[in-house]
């Protein structure tokens, strides 16, 4: 951890009691700040408040009182998910109070080698693969943190100048990270996400590009080269551009040609040996390979990771094989695009478990993918009728079930050796489960109960 004094004696407001907010509040106390912590919800767990107060932190819960804007705070550390049109945040913006996220605080105290990953899809898998690859050859610590569910600043506290940290950074985090400066930055792709937050696609792109804002020609921007738009976006960076591509050959980076992955013209490994399935995971692997090679990782280390890693939990995660059926948990697929990608990854017949929160849209876009990849569907949740309509349009047999748990034995009855049983809901979980993680965990438990085996 780097010693800094810029918070000594400063009055700081931390907004939001998520993992990152709580860690930031405690860290700021260590850095000499006078800290107030605020959350609009009063935590059910009193230990959270007790721990903060025991550290000398003033705690305000149950509201974001606008009066806080008049208390002379020097800095606001905002939970990334709180929008800038929140009345209290907007008041701080109007008066010019600096507003940062915990990622910025983590960067300020970090004293090692930083690799950062952003993008619309594939961030978590790319972050994990990159960390695993670099760790294979490393003589010092290699950790990951950030939007992957682990506080950046908490991990940064325990790392030294020879250590490496691979961070997943969302557009929300990057908006509040004005000085962050990774030596290697990765942009996996950019689609049109979170426009309710960013308002326009250009705002969203600009937020993503904050990952490379402070880079120089001595740093590297690893970026997807499969679309003209992304190639043009790369021109807005001062870093040395390192492309990765599944579709276009480029000797400046990593690419695929005739089923073989290359790094700057040298063979690395066949794509068929990657344990993760689907074209999207080839792209994730290419991005991670580029960052790993720039970090001095050997091909053997890269091959070891890519031939053994079975996926991030809930993200097209391989669960097990039982009686020649393959089970996959893709509970993180909470939108149509993610389920499209998941289905394209299989060349076996798929029994699809899908449904969830009704957000008002229909599923005609999935009909071509159902026709090509799906042999039967089990649908559930608020939108099951709309999902059933799409299945009927595709001519796929559809059965209704109560939820993702009860759907497992129903799918088993329909399956034959060689089939894939895939949970890829295309919808959020909140109609029946508190999160996609809980939905995925319950699905895995149902598979384990059915088969009598533990997930692999």
Q: Which of 274, 290, 293 is nearest to 282 (CA)?
A: 274
- Whether residue 149 lies inside any domain: the answer is yes
119 appears as a binding residue in the annotation = yes
- Residue 217 is given by DSSP the state T
- pLDDT, tens digit (0-9, with 9 covering 90-100), for 51-99: 999 999 999 999 999 999 999 999 999 999 999 999 999 999 999 999 9
State whether the Cα torsion 33-36-37-38 is positive or negative: negative
Helix (H, G, I), strand (E, B) or coil at 186: strand
- CA–CA gap between residue 229 and residue 171 (Å, rounded): 18
- pLDDT, tens digit (0-9, with 9 covering 90-100), for 86-144: 999 999 999 999 999 999 999 999 999 999 999 998 999 999 999 999 999 899 999 99
Any idea what the CATH number is for the domain that residue 35 is in? 3.40.50.720
- Whether residue 2 lies inside any domain: the answer is no
Mean pLDDT of 224-231: 96
Q: How many domains does the chain have?
A: 3
333 appears as a binding residue in the annotation = no
- pLDDT, tens digit (0-9, with 9 covering 90-100), for 271-322: 999 999 988 999 999 999 999 999 999 999 999 999 999 888 898 999 999 9
What pLDDT was estimated at residue 314?
92
79/113 same-domain check: no
Tokens for 205? 């792109």
What pLDDT was estimated at residue 359?
86
- CA–CA gap between residue 174 and residue 212 (Å, rounded): 10
- Whether residue 21 lies inside any domain: the answer is yes
323/295 same-domain check: no
What pLDDT was estimated at residue 326?
96
pLDDT at 193 over 80: no
61/118 same-domain check: no
124 appears as a binding residue in the annotation = yes
pLDDT at 45 over 90: no
141/237 same-domain check: yes
Mean pLDDT of 175-203: 92
143/203 same-domain check: yes
- CA–CA gap between residue 101 and residue 121 (Å, rounded): 21
- Whether residue 183 lies inside any domain: the answer is yes
90/171 same-domain check: no
134/233 same-domain check: yes
121 appears as a binding residue in the annotation = yes
- CA–CA gap between residue 166 and residue 145 (Å, rounded): 7
229/321 same-domain check: no
What pLDDT was estimated at residue 312?
87
- pLDDT, tens digit (0-9, with 9 covering 90-100), for 196-208: 889 899 999 999 9
What pLDDT was estimated at residue 250?
83
**CB burial readout 158-179, b (16+ within 10 A) else e:** ebeeebbbbbbbbbbbbbbbee
Tokens for 111? 């004293």
Percent of the chain with pLDDT over 70: 100
122 appears as a binding residue in the annotation = yes
For residue 359, the enclosing domain spans 317-451
What pLDDT was estimated at residue 452?
96
What pLDDT was estimated at residue 181?
98
Output 43 or 327, whichever has higher pLDDT.
327
134/222 same-domain check: yes
Tokens for 232? 């043009």
Query: Are 75 and 54 in contact, with CB atoms under 8 Å apart?
Result: no
What pLDDT was estimated at residue 456?
78
Query: Are 112 and 145 in contact, with CB atoms under 8 Å apart?
Result: no
Residue 34 neighbours by CB distance under 10 Å: 17
Any idea what the CATH number is for the domain that residue 348 is in? 3.90.190.20
- Whether residue 3 lies inside any domain: the answer is no
What pLDDT was estimated at residue 196?
83
- Whether residue 456 lies inside any domain: the answer is no
- pLDDT, tens digit (0-9, with 9 covering 90-100), for 315-339: 899 999 999 999 999 999 998 988 9
Residue 428 neighbours by CB distance under 10 Å: 20
294/342 same-domain check: no
pLDDT at 192 over 90: no
Mean pLDDT of 251-269: 96
Average pLDDT, the chain: 95
Any idea what the CATH number is for the domain that residue 231 is in? 3.40.1190.10
Domain boundary among 289, 308, 327: 308
267/331 same-domain check: no
- Whether residue 4 lies inside any domain: the answer is no
Concatenated DSSP letters for 218-248? TSEEEEE-SSHHHHHHHTT--SEEEEEESSS
- Whether residue 435 lies inside any domain: the answer is yes
Domain boundary among 100, 131, 156: 100
What pLDDT was estimated at residue 194?
79
Mean pLDDT of 2-27: 96
pLDDT at 368 over 90: yes
| Residue 413 banded pLDDT, cuts 50, 70, 90 | very high
298/206 same-domain check: yes
pLDDT at 369 over 80: yes
Domain boundary among 100, 115, 130: 100
């Amino acid at each position: 951890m780097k010693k800094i004094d810029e918070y000594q004696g400063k009055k700081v407001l931390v907004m939001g009691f998520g993992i990152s907010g709580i860690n930031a509040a405690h860290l700021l106390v260590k850095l000499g700040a006078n800290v107030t912590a605020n959350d609009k919800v009063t935590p059910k767990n009193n230990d959270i408040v007790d721990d903060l107060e025991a550290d000398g932190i003033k705690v305000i819960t149950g509201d974001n009182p606008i009066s806080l804007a008049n208390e002379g705070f020097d800095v606001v550390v905002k939970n990334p998910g709180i929008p800038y049109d929140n009345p209290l945040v907007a008041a701080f913006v109007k008066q010019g109070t600096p507003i940062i996220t915990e990622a910025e605080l983590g960067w300020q105290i970090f004293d090692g080698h930083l690799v950062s990953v952003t993008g619309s899809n594939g961030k978590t898998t790319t972050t994990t693969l990159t960390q695993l690859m670099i760790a294979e050859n490393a003589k010092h610590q290699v950790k990951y943190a950030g939007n992957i569910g682990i506080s950046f600043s908490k991990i940064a506290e325990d790392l030294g100048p020879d250590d490496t940290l691979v961070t997943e950074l969302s557009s929300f985090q990057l908006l509040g990270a004005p000085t962050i400066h990774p030596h290697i930055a990765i942009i996996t792709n950019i689609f049109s996400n979170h426009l309710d937050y960013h308002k326009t696609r250009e705002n969203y792109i600009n937020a993503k590009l904050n990952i490379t804002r402070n880079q120089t020609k001595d740093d590297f921007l690893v970026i997807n080269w499969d679309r003209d738009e992304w190639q043009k976006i790369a021109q807005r960076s001062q870093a040395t551009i390192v492309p990765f591509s599944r579709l276009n050959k480029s000797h400046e980076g990593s690419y695929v040609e005739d089923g073989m992955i290359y790094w700057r013209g040298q063979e690395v490994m066949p794509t068929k040996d990657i344990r993760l399935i689907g074209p999207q995971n080839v792209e994730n692997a290419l991005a991670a390979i580029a960052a790993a090679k720039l970090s001095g990782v050997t091909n053997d280390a890269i091959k070891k990771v890519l031939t053994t890693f079975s996926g991030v939990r809930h993200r097209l995660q391989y669960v097990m094989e039982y009686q020649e059926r393959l089970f996959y948990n893709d509970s993180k697929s909470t939108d149509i695009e993610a389920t499209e990608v998941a289905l394209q990854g299989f060349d076996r017949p798929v029994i699809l478990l899908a449904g969830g929160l009704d957000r008002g849209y229909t599923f005609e876009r999935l009909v071509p993918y159902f026709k090509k990849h799906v042999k039967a569907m089990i649908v559930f949740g608020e939108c099951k009728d709309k999902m059933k309509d799409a299945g009927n349009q595709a001519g796929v047999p559809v059965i209704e079930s109560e939820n993702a748990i009860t759907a497992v034995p129903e799918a088993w009855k329909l399956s034959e050796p060689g089939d894939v049983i895939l949970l890829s809901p295309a919808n959020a979980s909140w109609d029946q489960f508190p999160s996609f993680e809980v939905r995925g965990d319950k699905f895995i438990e149902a598979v384990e109960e059915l088969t009598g085996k533990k997930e692999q």
